[in-house]
Amino acid sequence: MTQLDVRGAALSNESGVSPFVIAVYKRLSDDPKQLRVDMPEQTRRINEIIEDVAREVAPREVIVREFKDDDRSAFKRKVKRIEFDELAGELEANRLDMLVSYDQDRYARRVYSWSYILELAHETETRIRFYLGGELNVQDAGARMQSHFKAATDEYSSAHNAERIRESLITLAEEGKQVGRVPFGWKRVHDFGTSGRALGYHDVKEPKEARVVRDIIKRVNAGDSLTSIARDLNKRGINHRTGRAFTPVTVRQIIMRPMNAGLLYRKGEYFGASQAPALVSERDWRAAVAKVSAPERRVTPGPTPQHLLSGIASCAVCGKPVRFKRANGIPAYQCDHVSHKEAPTDVYVRDAIVARLSMSDAAPIFATELDMATDALAELSELRDELRALEDRATKMTQAGYERNWDRIQSGIKDATARLERAGDAKLALVAELYGEDAGARFDALSLERKRAAIRLLCKIKLHKLGKGNRYVGPTAETVEIVFI
Ligand SMILES: [Zn+2]
């Protein structure tokens, strides 16, 4: 609560007449971007009323006491509105002469809350005035009845009007809660008061499902396809919530959720931390999102490849990817221009990849990207703090100032996110998983699909023409050209 002597000396008098105390109640609960900035508008309207009242009660001094609850829905019972309670206390103690607010529904959207205020005002002969609706004649039974009807209508529309429902959803979203069905990976815990009355809920990890989500994200980062992940989940008998089998589409939907990393987004803008605990690190989640958003993932996958380099290595002459074919019964990678035996070529490429990943300088090779990701993450965290601070200051700012800051922070968040997505891509996850002294064993343990993904991420391979007439001696640096990327 803040106490302001807004009229100052002009209205004060020395005659010992008691001042006229106006309690202003302001509440904003709505969309933080759209409606919270209405606070200056509310303030302007309320100031007009105060000026009118000051003229009316002159020469009594006017004291304005402001009670303000932000981000509170008067409809949701479990939300405690601290200054509302203070205001009711002051009213009960008969320390107020008038209540002023923008509208009756600022105080309460529950009939019983409004009845409480109205009865107190009646008993203490406190006047009530709204910007919308003017003075309410508290001493008139008919006016009080009308006011009760309005409260009942407000309560009804709170519960049923689509706009009101949207508002309460936003309030939930502001608290970081998932609206609607509990997503796969979490379970809902209902909170009860000592009397057994339901107070609300919060979401916690569902251990088995959380493990599945972590596994999906790890596998997609390691290069597995959505199809093979879905197939494996179904093979392991894991059920999606719906009771239906997993499909590439449902797996993708699970990956895309910002809540996996404990983040809450609305219409593409960051809104704060999710109430539910994160299942994976933000970096892993972003890497997975980048992977499944990559253009090559959008096409329907064809038959599962059976060979390490088909479609990956290209012909040095024409640039087209080579295909697997049997040349005189011998498995080979071929184009019209080149033909390389499959087995020795696979071994040669495998050894080159493993050598690269085993090198002691493997980490420095990727250090720039790692640094970039770390910087972007740090910046994101700072911007999120700034956004939180802006929300706290919102009511003290002009609409233009608030929006300018909001836009600046959001564009910073988008920029840092884009950098993080570029840097924290699947290559890093793969390298982190494979590199080290036993890179060979780790690489060999991968499925064919993941080996192919690793090769794609790490290098480009060109197959050159073999020397004419010479006996085939196996792949060399000249015939199988590997360029790391
Ligand atoms: Zn060719």
Q: Which domains does the chain have, with CATH numbers?
A: 2-165 (3.40.50.1390), 176-299 (3.90.1750.20), 314-360+430-484 (no CATH)
Buried b (16+ CB within 10 A) or exposed e, 444-473: eebeebbbbbbbbbbbebbbbebeeeeeee
Give the Cα separation of 162 and 25 in Å (integer): 26
**How far apart are the CA of 315 and the centre of ligand 1, in A?**
5
**How far apart are the CA of 145 and the centre of ligand 1, in A?**
89
How large is the average pLDDT for residues 89-100?
92
Within 8 A by CB and 6+ apart from 417, the residues are 286, 376, 380
Give the Cα separation of 441 and 395 in Å (integer): 60
Paired residues of 205 in beta bridges: 186
**How far apart are the CA of 354 and the centre of ligand 1, in A?**
27
**How far apart are the CA of 337 and the centre of ligand 1, in A?**
4
Distances from the Cα of 479 to the Cα of 143, 349, 454, 463, 467, angstroms: 95, 12, 21, 6, 9
pLDDT value for 381:
79
pLDDT at 415 over 70: yes
Residue 315 per-residue DSSP state: E
pLDDT at 422 over 70: no
What rounded mean pLDDT belongs to the chain?
77
Of 125-129, 177-181, 205-209, 298-302, the one with minimum mean pLDDT is 298-302
pLDDT at 137 over 70: yes
**How far apart are the CA of 458 and the centre of ligand 1, in A?**
22
Amino acid letter for position 151: A
Of 229-233, 365-369, 459-463, 465-469, the one with minimum mean pLDDT is 365-369
Task: Indicate whether this model's pTM tops 0.85.
Answer: no
Ion ligand 1: residues, CB within 5 A, are 315, 317-318, 335, 337
Report the share of the chain in percent with pLDDT over 90. 23
pLDDT at 224 over 60: yes
**How far apart are the CA of 197 and the centre of ligand 1, in A?**
74
Give the Cα separation of 220 and 208 in Å (integer): 19
Contact (Cβ atoms closer than 8 angstroms) between residue 479 and residue 463:
yes
pLDDT at 69 over 80: no
